[in-house]
Structure 1
Amino acid sequence: MREKETSGSVLRKRTLITRGSPQQVLVFGFALLVAVGTLLLCLPISIAEGHTLSFHNALFTATSAASVTGLVVVDTGTTFSYFGQAVLLLLIQAGGIGFMTLTTMIALMIGKKISFRERLVLKESLNQNSTEGIVRLIRKVILYSLVIEAAGTVLLALHWMEEMPPGKALYHGLFHAVSIFNNSGFDIIGGFAPYVGDFYFNVVSIVLIFLGSVGFIVLSDLIDYPKNRKLSLHSKVVLSFSGVLIAVGAVIIFIFEFTNAASTGALTVAEKLLSSLFQSTSLRSSGTSTLDIQSLRQATQFFMVIMMFIGASPGSTGGGIKVTTFAIMTAAFVTMVRGKQDVDLFRSRISKDLVYKAITVMFVGLFIVVSATIILSFSENQPFLTVLYETTSAFGTVGFSAGLTSQLTVFGKTVMILLMFAGRLGPFTIALALQSKAKKDLYRYPEGKIILG
């Protein structure tokens, strides 16, 4: 009798996992990835000699790596052994391209067929509209990631061979190529401030960040462009709005920090332009910085908050509400101002469902960031802008820090862990995961009138 009860209990647990919505499967899978990463980082072999790591700090670090955020409470290069750094690298890779992508790749390698249900989860994981061609896209994601990271490894290693032995340069090249491409912000050299005027390092890093932030769908479109001679609407929107955001960000940072002696004031004009462009590109969700964030003016920091909230693109290694959400909201605003009926982008009409989804994503994101900022402002007793900056960085999985993360209480770290968790999965995925099964309305209320403005 007890055996039957036990088997029935196991069956119910399996049913909860296998019959959950795709969004719930993603939440569960990501939580499992963080849990495994935490346990591995807690192992003595993961910690460098002479250092210690509490369970809570291991959990924070694993969440930061898996969510490709880059916020740290301990120094990565000195606290972790080579094994621990390898664990972080695997978490960054899994978090960047998606754990579902990795598991699918392994399944394909051993000859396992991908079920329709698994395709639905993959569709949600990669922000696709349908399951058509999803396995083919997975193969492209893996191929593009490996090729880009390999190229980045070689380019960075060749540069660092001037400063360190070849073996160490290759290892540093690999770690940072994976970290920068996946927009994680982790480093093992104590920061990139010494490279603020290094043209080679800046250009290689900017390219890696950009390729990681535009998303694999866009990369696929760009690679196929010479053959097809066309780009999808999605790619047009991502490339154009990402380009505008990076350009505007670089100009504003350049102007705001031009006379700031604590940041770019002592640099040449060329170095100021380079560092501003690097910082603006990194705002797409990378968190890799050649400037001291705490030394930036408050106006610059607040502007960065807005840019971090927007984040990267759907199907990319970055977070935030996404560039496409910002694009649709901008187009909807222009439509209202012009008094038009339809929301248009690149001579294509955007459906009302997409506009409603964009509004939902933005408001859920705002609610998460504002709620966390209020809570941390109360619990941490820190300046408001510093708290807002840190919470937005965590939600956007950016990894820039204004100095608060290293001073957080255990409660504060827990709030930031939840923020990074929600930021990587995305506000819409979280909302749908918590949603009960959708029911079709059997009736509609009469239309009402409300005065606005």
Structure 2
Amino acid sequence: MNRKGTDILKRSAIARSFRLARLHPPQVLALGFLVIIFIGAFLLNSPIALQQDGELPFIDALFMATSATCVTGLSVVNSGLDFTLFGQLVLLTLVQLGGLGFMTMATLIALAFKRRITFKERLILQEAMNHGSVEGIVRLIRRVLLYSLVIEAVGALLLTGRFLLEMPADQAIYFGLFHSISIFNNAGFDLFGMLPGRPGSLIHYVNDPFVNVVTMLLIFLGGIGFIVIDDLLHYRKRRKLTLHSKVVLSVSLALIALGALVILVFEYTNPLTLQKLGEPGKLLSSLFQSVSMRSAGVSTLDVASMRQATQFFTILMMFIGAAPGSSGGGIKVTTFAILVGAVIAMLRGRQDIVMFKRRLPQDRVYKAITFTLFSFFFIILAAMILSVTESYNFLGILFEATSAYATAGLSMGLTAELSIPGKILLMVLMFVGRLGPVTLAFALTPKHEKELYRYPEGKITIG
């Protein structure tokens, strides 16, 4: 190539760099996730990723890559039967990248090469982690990797020890590692479909206390967020928890208790779920399903066999989701807490929302309401469209749409039967749910202009 051509390529690369530098943090996050999804789709669609003589339409490969990167767990193929070891490792890598966040991984690589993290990159990390400020964000990222590796390694060792009782050592180690990473990142992919006569997910282990307890701990730690984990590990030194951690832990535990009670009551006499189990099994299964339903995507009960009341309650729990800064989706438990706090404040005739003797700023309330309404209308619109494109009952459609948006991964069976328009719509739901509708709205907004004036105040009648 001549010198003129080289100069043109250099100028083009520089121009692209400047255009990228002008992107807002939400735009960088959205673009980064899209790049990872499409790279993953091409890898999953390659011959080396598929079982011998296997064929996978690109739309299905794209769906699986989106589900893995968005740590959802909804599948249009059987991960254990249709993918080779390479394909399964690609899926697992996408789950890890999606759970930690691509900016977290990029930062760790940059730190390994001793490259300075710019202020804009710190802003992107703050957005990705849902952190309150850029102060200490790089130190937090280092700890995030350490926490993830330690928790996943311990989970893998514990699960491997259990799987050694029923399968060869190499398979037990692989199963332990795969499911520990998948469950901790709240993705919900499993490989049990490759074992003869085994149902999917963890249904085979419905009466196994060890697998249930280890899995619930992995789900809980993955769902409360790295900020809360960091706060808990430093509690002995600081002797206090932040308001964020207090709210996340208290609301999460309350929702788990409520969920277990509701499932136990509604499914107690259901011959397809709890009735066939003993009393300890009923309690264990109800607790497991309650922990899992808001984000994890694994189950010890057949969701499609549950009563409609339980299925609808699961929709509500999936909509609430996990904590900010975690790999879980939904509107988040803190958003739910703010909404409940606003209702309580209104009923008591108070102007401020107070939690643990701390008053919440007004902008937090506006953001919670905006996030909830965006999410609600997005799911309803998607469910309406799916009711036209898919031949399925509406509760099942609403369940699947909520599961995709909340990146929960639970399914009543519709995902495996989706049409091409249905798959595309669910991919959009998973992508928006992982980023968050407000983040995506900021990403699509070219510029935020400052208000130069305010209109006079007016009043309207409510109620």
Normalised by the length of structure 2, the TM-score is 0.96
2:57 pairs, out of 47, 54, 58, with 54
Q: Which stretch of the first structure deviates more once superposed, 388-397 or 221-230?
A: 221-230
Superposed, which structure 2 residues align to 1:278-357 within 5 Å? 278-357=288-367
- Secondary structure in 1 aligned to 2:277? coil
Change (3 A) 1:10 1:107: closer
Partner of 1:245: 255
In structure 2, give the amino acid aligned to 1:21: H
Q: Which stretch of the first structure deviates more once superposed, 353-362 or 9-18?
A: 9-18
Partner of 1:425: 435
In structure 2, give the amino acid aligned to 1:446: P
**Matches of 2:326 and 2:333, distance apart in 1:** 11
In structure 1, give the amino acid aligned to 2:106: T
Whether the 8 Å CA contact 1:184–1:287 is kept in 2: the answer is yes
- Secondary structure in 1 aligned to 2:354? strand
Whether the 8 Å CA contact 2:294–2:319 is kept in 1: the answer is no
Superposed, which structure 2 residues align to 1:57-72 within 5 Å? 57-72=60-75
2:34 pairs, out of 19, 31, 34, with 31
Partner of 1:126: 129
**Matches of 2:294 and 2:402, distance apart in 1:** 12
In structure 2, give the amino acid aligned to 1:48: Q
**Matches of 1:393 and 1:296, distance apart in 2:** 16
1:172 pairs, out of 155, 175, 188, with 175
**Matches of 2:40 and 2:141, distance apart in 1:** 23
**Matches of 1:428 and 1:441, distance apart in 2:** 19
Partner of 1:151: 154
Q: Which stretch of the first structure deviates more once superposed, 210-219 or 370-379?
A: 370-379
Superposed, which structure 2 residues align to 1:303-452 within 5 Å? 303-452=313-462
Superposed CA deviations along residues 234-256 of structure 1, whole A, max 9, x for unmatched, are 00000000000011001001100
- Secondary structure in 1 aligned to 2:272? coil
**Matches of 1:118 and 1:216, distance apart in 2:** 19
1:277 and 2:287 aligned? yes
- Secondary structure in 2 aligned to 1:72? coil
- Secondary structure in 2 aligned to 1:312? coil
In structure 2, give the amino acid aligned to 1:405: T
Whether the 8 Å CA contact 1:92–1:179 is kept in 2: the answer is yes
Deviation at 1:328, TM superposition (A): 0.6
1:183 pairs, out of 178, 183, 186, with 186
**Matches of 2:161 and 2:5, distance apart in 1:** 64
**Matches of 1:419 and 1:30, distance apart in 2:** 14
**Matches of 1:343 and 1:99, distance apart in 2:** 35
Partner of 1:257: 267
Superposed, which structure 2 residues align to 1:80-229 within 5 Å? 80-190=83-193, 191=200, 192-229=202-239
Whether the 8 Å CA contact 2:48–2:86 is kept in 1: the answer is yes
Deviation at 1:8, TM superposition (A): 5.3
Deviation at 1:384, TM superposition (A): 0.7
**Matches of 1:205 and 1:3, distance apart in 2:** 55
In structure 1, give the amino acid aligned to 2:182: S
Whether the 8 Å CA contact 1:213–1:317 is kept in 2: the answer is yes
Deviation at 1:4, TM superposition (A): 7.1
Partner of 2:196: none
Q: Which stretch of the first structure deviates more once superposed, 104-113 or 412-421?
A: 104-113
In structure 2, give the amino acid aligned to 1:269: E
**Matches of 2:394 and 2:115, distance apart in 1:** 52
Whether the 8 Å CA contact 2:319–2:330 is kept in 1: the answer is yes
**Matches of 1:185 and 1:429, distance apart in 2:** 24
- Secondary structure in 1 aligned to 2:367? helix
**Matches of 1:16 and 1:451, distance apart in 2:** 47
**Matches of 2:6 and 2:100, distance apart in 1:** 41
**Matches of 1:7 and 1:71, distance apart in 2:** 43
Superposed CA deviations along residues 5-54 of structure 1, whole A, max 9, x for unmatched, are 76655444333322110000000000001011111111111111242211
Whether the 8 Å CA contact 2:186–2:297 is kept in 1: the answer is yes
Superposed CA deviations along residues 162-200 of structure 1, whole A, max 9, x for unmatched, are 001111101000000000000000000122111011100
**Matches of 1:430 and 1:368, distance apart in 2:** 12
Deviation at 1:3, TM superposition (A): 7.5
In structure 1, give the amino acid aligned to 2:217: V
In structure 2, give the amino acid aligned to 1:183: N
In structure 1, give the amino acid aligned to 2:219: I
**Matches of 1:266 and 1:35, distance apart in 2:** 44
In structure 2, give the amino acid aligned to 1:242: S
Superposed CA deviations along residues 356-415 of structure 1, whole A, max 9, x for unmatched, are 011111011112101110110111132110000000000000100011000100110000
**Matches of 1:122 and 1:444, distance apart in 2:** 33
In structure 2, give the amino acid aligned to 1:199: P
Deviation at 1:57, TM superposition (A): 0.4
Whether the 8 Å CA contact 1:152–1:177 is kept in 2: the answer is yes
Q: What is the root-mean-square deviation of aligned Cα atoms in Å?
A: 1.3
**Matches of 2:11 and 2:53, distance apart in 1:** 48
Deviation at 1:417, TM superposition (A): 0.5
How many residue pairs are counted as aligned between the two chains? 453
List gaps (5 residues or longer) in structure 1. none
**Matches of 1:447 and 1:234, distance apart in 2:** 33
Whether the 8 Å CA contact 1:321–1:427 is kept in 2: the answer is no
